[in-house]
Each structure stands twice: as structure tokens, then as C-alpha cells.
């Protein structure tokens, strides 16, 4: 049975999420939430119904089964999820996995996570809640992504990698096998990561090296 969901966000990342949900065909999007836009505006034909504080009323009115937070920045997405959970205790978050993604055996994918077209996840990977696996990225065998982590388009990892919570790996970056990326760390676009990177760092280059520290929530997109 098709379930009703609401998408939080209405920008570029949300448009990709909308396309995935449509292609999956499991859920029906009843509308969007976005505090930065007026109610009644539309994205890809879907109406902005209000803001996060309107969710409880909308959930009752439209028999909402779940929500997807379609915000690309890890910290902003995490803040939105925390607010929604406080406003609506027991709220369910829906996954969105593009039919063109390749998901191998014994892979777990947490609630709220989005897997885009062409992404490849090899056996025995563990993906946390509210992660993003972007277009044509690859997560090799026995790797872990903790909650709110993200892989940008074209990222490639070797096996047994560990991506910490809230960390972001930039477009086209490559991690050799066994790399550990600490929580809240950003790996720059095109980086070749040959050594593990601690928490709260920015690293880039070929080979990648730590450039500076960063604080939780610093912008990177």
C-alpha cells in the first residue's frame, strides 16, 4: 500500500529526493515543508504546505506515515531532524533508495537515508540514519557510515572504511581500504585519502593532508 509522506526542504537536493521517491513508487508525497518559502509555492509540482512547526497538524490531516528531511548539509539536516522529533515524538523517517542504485547482500540502511542513482553499496556495509549516498558513489565491502554522514557524487571507498557521524566526503574523492574518517570531518573534492583523518578536521589534496580544524556545524557546501 502506498504511504503518504512529507519532504522537508525544497531546494536542489530536495528535487533529487523527490525524483527518487517518484521512481521508487512506494510513497506518495503530499507536499513540502520549507520555512524559507511561502505556503503555496511549488517545487516539481509539489506544494509547500508550511514549515516544520506545522508538521503535527499536517500529519493528522493527511495521514502521514513518514518524513524525509531533504537537506544536503549534514549539520543543518541533523538540526532539522532534532526539531521534528521534538515537535512530533515517535515520528517515522522514510528511506529513499533509487531503483538504479546497486545494493548488495547483508547491507543495512538507516531510517531517513537517501541513496541516489548509480550508487553502489557492496556486501556487509552498515549505513546509519539520515545519511546521503550521492550519485555514482561507491561504498565498498564491510564499510560503515555513521548517522548524518554523506558521500558526494563520484566518491569511491575501499573496503573496511569507516565514515564518522556528520562527516562529509567531497565530490570525486577516493579513500583507500581501511580509512577512518573521524566525526564532523570534511574531505575535500578530488582528495586521495591514504591515511586516516581525525575528527573535526578539513583535509584535501593528493595525497590528502589535514589543512585546518573545523567546528561542528561549520558550513562546507
- Given a cut of 70, whether residue 1 has pLDDT beyond it is no
Predicted structure pTM score: 0.96
With CA atoms as reference, report the closest residue to 168 among 116, 110, 220.
Answer: 220
What does the block give as the cell for 108? 543495512
Reduced to 3 states, what is the DSSP secondary structure of residue 86? helix
pLDDT band at 2 (very low <50, low <70, confident <90, very high): confident
What is the mean predicted confidence (pLDDT) over 102-126? 98
Own/partner contacts of 205-209, CB < 8 Å, gap of 24 or more, are 208/173
| Residue 79, CA distances (Å) to 68, 122, 184, 216 in order | 14, 30, 14, 11
- DSSP bridge pairs for 193: 175
So what's the pLDDT on residue 221? Answer: 78
| Residue-wise DSSP of 126-154 | EE-TT-EE-TT-EE-TT-EE-TT-EE-TT
CATH number assigned to the domain covering 3-87: 3.40.50.20
**In this predicted model, what pLDDT tens digit does every residue of 131-146 receive, in sequence order?**
999 999 999 999 999 9
Q: So what's the pLDDT on residue 9?
A: 97
- Domain range list for the chain: 3-87, 96-210
Q: Can you tell me which residue has the cell 573535526? A: 200
Which residues are bridge partners to 201 per DSSP?
213
Report the residue count for the chain: 221
What is 96-210's CATH number, 3.30.1490.20, 3.40.50.1100, 1.10.3720.10, 2.160.10.10?
Answer: 2.160.10.10
Taking only the tens place, the pLDDT of each residue in 173-202 is 999 999 999 999 999 999 999 999 999 999
| pLDDT tens-digit series, residues 76-111 | 999 999 999 999 999 999 999 999 999 999 999 999
Higher pLDDT among residues 49 and 221, named by residue:
49
Report d(CA 114, CA 95) in Å as an integer: 6
DSSP label of 53: G
Amino acid at each position: 500500500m502506498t504511504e503518504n509522506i512529507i519532504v522537508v526542504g525544497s531546494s536542489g537536493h530536495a528535487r533529487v529526493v523527490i525524483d527518487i521517491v517518484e521512481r521508487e513508487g512506494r510513497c506518495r508525497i503530499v507536499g513540502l515543508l520549507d520555512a524559507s518559502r511561502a505556503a503555496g509555492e511549488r517545487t516539481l509540482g509539489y506544494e509547500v504546505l508550511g514549515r516544520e512547526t506545522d508538521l503535527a497538524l499536517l500529519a493528522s490531516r493527511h495521514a502521514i506515515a513518514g518524513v524525509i528531511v531533504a537537506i544536503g548539509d549534514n549539520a543543518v539536516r541533523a538540526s532539522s531532524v532534532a526539531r521534528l522529533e521534538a515537535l512530533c515524538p515517535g515520528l517515522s523517517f522514510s528511506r529513499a533508495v533509487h531503483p538504479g542504485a546497486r545494493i548488495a547482500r547483508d547491507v543495512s540502511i538507516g531510517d531517513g537515508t537517501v541513496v541516489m542513482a548509480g550508487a553502489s553499496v557492496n556486501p556487509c556495509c552498515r549505513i546509519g540514519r539520515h545519511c546521503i549516498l550521492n550519485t555514482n558513489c561507491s561504498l565498498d565491502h564491510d564499510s560503515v557510515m555513521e548517522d548524518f554522514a554523506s558521500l558526494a557524487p563520484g566518491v569511491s571507498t575501499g573496503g573496511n572504511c569507516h565514515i564518522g557521524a556528520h562527516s562529509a566526503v567531497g565530490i570525486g574523492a577516493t579513500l583507500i581500504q581501511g580509512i577512518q574518517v573521524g566525526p564532523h570531518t570534511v574531505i575535500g573534492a578530488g582528495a586521495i585519502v591514504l591515511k586516516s583523518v581525525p575528527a573535526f578536521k578539513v583535509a584535501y589534496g593528493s595525497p590528502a593532508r589535514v589543512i585546518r580544524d573545523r567546528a561542528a556545524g561549520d558550513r562546507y557546501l
